[in-house]
Structure 1
Amino acid sequence: MAGDGLADAAGSFDPLRPALVRVAYRMLGSVADAEDIVQEAFIRWMGADRERVREPEAFLRRTVTRLCLDQLKSARHRRETYIGPWLPEPVFEEEEEGEDVTLPLMLALERLSPLERAAFLLHDVFGLDFGEVAGTIRRTPAASRQLAARARRRVRDARPRYKVDRRRGLELAEAFFAASRSGDMKALGSMLAADISLHADGGGKRPAAAEPVAGFHAVMKLHENLANLFRESGSKLVRAGFVNGLPGFITREADGEIQVTALEVEGGKIAAIYVVRNPEKLGHLY
């Protein structure tokens, strides 16, 4: 009987798991934490009176969102004590999938309160009406609408303004890798916007800039110094693709560890470079 109950719970839950992981990941910015949250939701699903649940997807999305809201309370403290710039765990795809929650938007979501973040994601990204949003976050529809509107204003500049052509994005990522590793500063400079910024997340586990590097000359100087290290120790391209909706690549560095680079492109130029080096954020890519 217990086996039948488990099979029944898994049979109704497993088709929904990928969508639930997407909700949790966008709430938390962590693949591992998202998977843990969804597994906890499955445990609760096993113990629920499933025959009385009319809409399993809505029930489970509500459960996952509420678990994420609880998790964000402790996550906020961890962010405050994090060493250096914090970036979300990268999700890497060989092909761009029309991702509308890009890495810059995920960083903007970090500035929101947990309830603002939930209301915005559930309504603006996942398309739920405010009645369901309200039931999920335990607020009135009017309050949920206000939370989403406030969040929308705060993240407006981080929303994707236009889609980068897939082929052009991959070409730019590969050209950036080649120029930055070979030390071809002329080629590298031709790709960068004047107000470019670089954000590197080492989490205190691997060397990385302690603060974002801003401006064309500062970023060029950093890459000139890095190119000397690359010539001595090497940096191998593992594969190019899309990182949270942005063109980028995975490399294996001289210390044997991998790192992930994502490029924000505006007007044909690289406007921001995001590098995740913290090995604790990269284990799911091996």
Structure 2
Amino acid sequence: MSPLVDVHRHHMPDITVAFLRSRRTWPYLDGDVVACTPGYGYRITPEMTDLSRNIEEMTAAGVGTAVLSTIVGVVDQLPGPEAATLAREVNDEMAGLARSGGPRLVPMATLPLSDPEAAAAELVRALDLGMRGALIPVTVVGRQLHELDLDPLFEVAEATGAPLSLHPTSPAFAEHFADHALMSSLAFPVDTTAAVLRLLYTGVFDRFPRLKVVVPHAGSLLPYLMGRIDREAGKYGVRTEPPSRTLRRLYVDAVSLWPPAIRLLLEVMGADRVMFGSDYPFWSTPENVAALAETTTDERVLSGTATALFRL
């Protein structure tokens, strides 16, 4: 079996930590907690900032290559000029870390989405640095992607073949999900799924049919609601053809610790659209590996599709 390719793995650059420590308004560092927005934040751990720990867990779990992205909740909460400056510094550091880590680390760009033209330009620069795509938060300063006029970015991504990996961050309704771990267990999949459907219904995937998009966390809610989405879209006339035809063109990671969910993901999306992911350091790489091993040994899922998509 080939070494695994992990398409959903995170690291927090030093420049981000320094930036957060310099601030007293959102986003900022409150002790060891990143306060992203009112109602949403997360605790910084050594696993987030120590790349050697990251690589050690990769090695122990049989992961050969990691598509490495920064942890969201910072650049995506900043206005255009400030976001553009920090994104550039983050990308420079991430590219340097990837070079020092050798071919096992494949960096993904951070983009200033609050300024679409700057985001498109930064993606071009990041690709020149050796990055293989970008991580795109689904909510940016309280607005979802379809509200941001991101066609300049989508045009560059489609023309270059650079994948855009989606990722949840602080949703506009964060204050309603602050208890009982509802933010990560429910709000994130809901927000991601809504963002994907709104991109579909506002015509993004029609205007950019070769755009390569990765939906995180085992496709969020899409595999489980696909039939309902088709039914309701037809019932209310929101789309002339079943949304599932377009949604199955997207890619998904297999970040799930529950084998039944991964089996459904494979059935709905097909093995050529599903890729291994761990969501390190928020989740355990060995547990993700074990859950995937219970469901499939298909080389496309373990490494093949990711190798082709990210041009490894």
TM-score (norm 1): 0.29
Largest Rg, 1 or 2: 1
TM-score (norm 2): 0.27
- Higher helix proportion: 1
